[in-house]
Amino acid sequence: MKEILQLQQKIVPELIDLLEKRYTILRTIYFNCPIGRRTLASKLNIGERVVRTEVNFLKNQGLVEIDSTGMFVTREGENIIDALKDFIHELKGLSSIENLIRKKLDLAKVIIVPGNIDEDPTILKEVGRVGAQYIKNLIKDNQIIAVTGGSSVGELVNNMPKINGKNNILVVPARGGMGKIVETQANTVAANLAEKLNANYRLLYVPDVMSKETLETIINEPGIKDIIRSIQKTDLLIYGIGRADEMFKRRGLSSGEMDELKNKGAVAEAFGYYFDKYGNVVDKTSTIGVKFEDVQKIDTIVAVAGGKCKAEAIIATKTYNKNSIIVTDEGAAKEIVRLLKLRE
C-alpha cells in the first residue's frame, strides 16, 4: 500500500487531497448530525460553496441524506468511513509516527487518530471510538477495571459497545470526584462503563482533593477501606492526562499554590500526581485512589488524550509501566515528535 500511495502522491496529488477532504466532511457530518451546511462550513473552516458542492456529490453517491433538520450519514456512508480509516492513516504516515513514539517513550502501543482536537473538537469522539474498539478486546473475566474522570475517558466509555458474556468484572473509579461537571467525574464514568459491560461497580463518594487530616479520617472508614483494596488490585486502568495549568484551575488552587507548582516545573497531571517535563513526580494531591506506585504494577494501562496542546503533558506522564498504551490524535502525535527531536 505504501508504494501505491507514494506513486499517487507524485502523479495525482490532487486526488489524495480530494479524498482526504471528502473523508473529513463525511466524518464531521457523522459526529455532528443533524448538521446544516453553514455550521459544517464553520466547523471545517472552508467556504459554504465548497461544502455545498461536496455535500451534493456525497448525497448523489448515497452516502449522505438531507432533511429539514440537517444532514445525516447513511449506513453506506458509515461503512465508507470505516473502510477509509486505515487508508487515511497510512496516507498521513501515522503508522511510522506510532512506531517512533512507542520506541522513544518506551510504550507497549501507540494509537493515533487523524486530526487535531484543538482545531476540531469532534475528533475527540473519534479518539473515544477508536479507543473503545481497542479496549473492548482487553476485557477479560475476573478483572478489576479502574477509570479516571475527564472528557477523553468519558468519550471513550460513551463509545464502548455493549459487551455480554464476561464474568466477574468489577469497575471502580480510580479517584474521587472533581469539578462541577458530574457527567465526566470518575464515579459517573465508572457506572456508565459497568452498564456497558454488564458488570458490577463500586463508587467512591469522596472529593478528589482534601486536607491530610480529613484524608486520614476518611481512609479508615470500613466502606472506603473496602473500595481502596479493590482499586489496589486493578488489572486494567483507563486514565486521562491533563495539562498542569488546566488542572490548577479545575482544582481551584490559590495563586500561591500555583506558583509553587510552576516553580517545581509541573507541566502535566495524571491520577493526582504532577509531573515535570522529564517525567519526574514533583507533587501529588491528598487524594484517595490509584497511587503512582500502584500504576507501575498494573497489568495494562491505557491513556487517552489528544490535541497539540497536550503533547508535552503526554511526554511528561511517564508511568514506567512496560504495558502502557496511548490513544491520541495526529495533532498531539506530531507535536510529540517535534518536542522529542528538539530534546535530542
Residue 290's pLDDT is: 85
Judgement on whether residues 308 and 215 belong to the same structural domain of the protein: yes
What would the mean pLDDT of 261-268 be, rounded to a whole number? 92
Number of alpha carbons in the 13 Å side-chain half-sphere of residue 6: 3
Considering only residues 90 and 191, tell me which one the structure prediction assigns the higher pLDDT.
Answer: 191
Say what the alpha-carbon torsion angle 258, 263, 268, 273 is, to the nearest 10 degrees.
Answer: -80
At residue 180, the pLDDT reads: 57
Q: 184 and 101 share a domain?
A: yes
Query: Are 64 and 193 part of one and the same domain?
Result: no
Please check whether residues 130 and 266 belong to one and the same domain: yes
Residue 7 vs residue 174, higher pLDDT: 174
Residue 319 has pLDDT above 90, yes or no: no
Report the number of distinct structural domains present in the chain.
2
CB contact set of 283 (below 8 Å; sequence gap of 6+): 261, 264, 266, 273, 274
| Same-domain status, 41 and 138 | no
Looking at the fold, whether 56 and 116 belong to one and the same domain comes out as: no
Residues 249 and 285 in one domain: yes
Q: DSSP readout, 87-105?
A: HHHHHTTHHHHHHHHHHHH
Last residue of a domain, one of 91, 112, 128: 91
Buried/exposed code over 176-202 (b: 16+ C-beta within 10 A; e: otherwise): bbbeeeeebbbbbbbbbbbebbebebb
Tell me the pLDDT of the chain averaged across its residues: 88
45 and 108: one domain?
Answer: no
Query: Of 207, 231, 218, which is closest to residue 289 (Cα–Cα)?
Result: 231
Q: Residue 108 sits in a domain of what CATH number?
A: 3.40.50.1360
Instruction: Give me the mean pLDDT over the 64-76 stretch.
Output: 94
Report the pLDDT value the prediction gives residue 219, as an integer from 0 to 100. Answer: 72
Q: Which of 32, 61, 91 is the last residue of a domain?
A: 91
At 210, the pLDDT band (50, 70, 90 cuts) reads low
For 117-121, 130-134, 154-158, 310-314, which range has the lowest pLDDT when averaged over its residues?
A: 117-121
- The whole-number pLDDT of residue 87 equals 85
- In this structure, the answer to whether residues 74 and 116 fall within a common structural domain is no
Q: 8: domain range?
A: 2-91
Among the listed ranges 9-18, 26-35, 116-125, 264-273, which one has the minimum average pLDDT value? 9-18
Q: What is the pLDDT of residue 249?
A: 78
Residue 234: pLDDT over 90: yes
Q: Say which CATH number the domain at 81 has.
A: 1.10.10.10
pTM of the model: 0.86
Last residue of a domain, one of 91, 119, 144: 91
21 and 106 fall within a common domain? no
pLDDT digits (tens, 9 = 90+) for 128-153: 999 999 999 999 999 999 999 889 99
For range 277-305, the mean pLDDT: 87
